[in-house]
Structure 1
Amino acid sequence: MNNAFLLLGSNLGDRLSFLNLAITSLQKTAGEIKNLSSVYETAAWGNTEQQAFLNQVLELETSLLPEQLLAQIHHIEKAAGRVRTEHWGPRELDIDILFFGKLLVNMPNLAVPHPQLHLRRFTLLPLAEIAPDLVHPTLHKSVSELLQICPDTLEAHIYHHGKLDL
């Protein structure tokens, strides 16, 4: 079993419902949800001319291999209505693998740890809430340390204080 940290995001439709759909679907198909951050509302990153996102990080205990988890993620995103047409464009649901145990993965369709994790405040804030001492295996800094030096200054605040029901 491995612990994977995933980032959920949505900025179209009923954003909170899409996050709930992701959590429910991952629990049914990929493993046990061990921990959930609060939900953060964050300004769009990359393509900033779009509605704000809701973002949440979860810790998943899984027996799947990284490629198998990615396949499940793509299935869940597609079931939510996601169509990949525009890089960093609006989407009903986006799920990124941030960490997968201590594995380093560098494949054409999957890089773990997520290569831009340390540059994104909307990722580090919820991740620091549930795993502040987790050390990035190549940057050799904890999530808390990465958050302190993160260059991203886009607005992010807690949208939903409690954890969503599993």
Structure 2
Amino acid sequence: MHNTTAWIAMGTNMPFAGVSGADLLSRARDALLSEGVSVLRCSGVWQTAAWPAGTNQPDYFNAVIEADVGDRDPRALFDLLRLVEERFGRARRERWGARTLDLDIVAMGGLSGFFDGIELPHPRMAERAFVLAPLAELAPGWPHPGLGRTAAELLAGLPPAGGYRRISDFQPPAG
């Protein structure tokens, strides 16, 4: 692979080092830039209710970035995202727990299937407004390779009680 485009979902609902919300997502984007990931476009920042419902957590701040990940394969990108999460204090203690930073590969190129343990596109993206709302903002016509529907169509097919709203633009890169 060379000059592969990936869609990366970002989320946070806990502060790290005195930074939270949209500012923390901007810093995470800057950390990816410093690791050689070329960020092509960013959605706005979306505030969403914690998922799944009933987890009694603060709201999340979410965004999706379109990135040129160069010649990285899915495993190499996954490992890089985990490294950045750790730098932002991410501890994986419980499924669906609160987190300082969550970075997920939503899709990568036109890949569909399992790649060294990484399933693409993300297996639950089509159920989650916190991924689909920013993805549909950025690329409404993005076609899900397995479902044959666009990001906008998938979002429109979700129940209306999604609890999400766009709150701001993404901050420009630092420096």
Instruction: Return the TM-score normalized by structure 1.
Output: 0.94
1:18 Cα offset (Å): 2.1
Alignment partner of 1:61 is 2:63: no
User: What stretches of structure 1 of length at least 5 have no aligned partner?
Assistant: none
The superposition leaves residues 89-146 of structure 1 with CA deviations (integer Å, 9 ceiling, x where unpaired) of 0000000100100012425742110111110111111000111001000000111111
Q: Counterparts of 2:55 and 2:40 in 1: how far apart (Å)?
A: 32
CA contact (8 A) 1:44 1:50 kept: yes
Stretches of structure 2 lacking an aligned partner (at least 5 in a row): none
- Say what the alpha-carbon RMSD is for the aligned residues: 1.5
Contact 1:99–1:114 (8 Å) recurs in 2: yes
Aligned mate of 1:20, from 26, 29, 49? 26
Give me the whole-angstrom Cα distance separating, in 1, the residues matched to 2:74 and 2:106.
11
Percentage of identical aligned residues: 32
The superposition leaves residues 58-101 of structure 1 with CA deviations (integer Å, 9 ceiling, x where unpaired) of 00011111111111100000000000001000000000100100
Number of residues paired by the alignment? 165
Provide TM-score, normalisation by structure 2: 0.89
- Structure 2 residue aligned with 1:73, among 74, 81, 84? 81
Counterpart pick for 2:149 among 118, 141, 147: 141
The secondary structure found in structure 2 opposite 1:25 is helix
Of 111, 128, 134, the match for 2:136:
128
State the secondary structure of the residue aligned to 2:32: helix
Q: Distance in 2 between matches of 1:30 and 1:67?
A: 16
CA drift of 1:152 comes to: 6.6
Instruction: Give the match for residue 10 of structure 1.
Output: 12
Is the partner of 1:73 in helix, strand or coil? helix
Question: 1:48 Cα deviation (Å)?
Answer: 2.8
Q: Distance in 1 between matches of 2:160 and 2:104?
A: 18
In 1, the alpha carbon distance for the partners of 2:119 and 2:28 equals 21
Counterpart secondary structure, 1:159: strand
Match of 2:39 in 1: 33
Any idea what SS the aligned residue of 2:30 has? Answer: helix
Q: Residues of 1 paired with 2:118 and 2:160: CA distance?
A: 23
Compute the displacement of 1:16 (Å): 2.4
For the Cα contact (< 8 Å) 2:40–2:67, is it kept in 1? yes
Q: Deviations over 1:7-61 (max 9, x none)?
A: 1000001122321221011112142111100000000012631000000000001
Following the alignment from structure 2 to structure 1, what is the Cα–Cα distance between the partners of residues 63 and 73?
22
Q: Is 105-114 or 67-76 further displaced after alignment?
A: 105-114
Q: Which aligned runs of 4 or more in structure 1 are off by greater than 3 angstroms?
A: none
Which shifted more, 43-52 or 117-126?
43-52
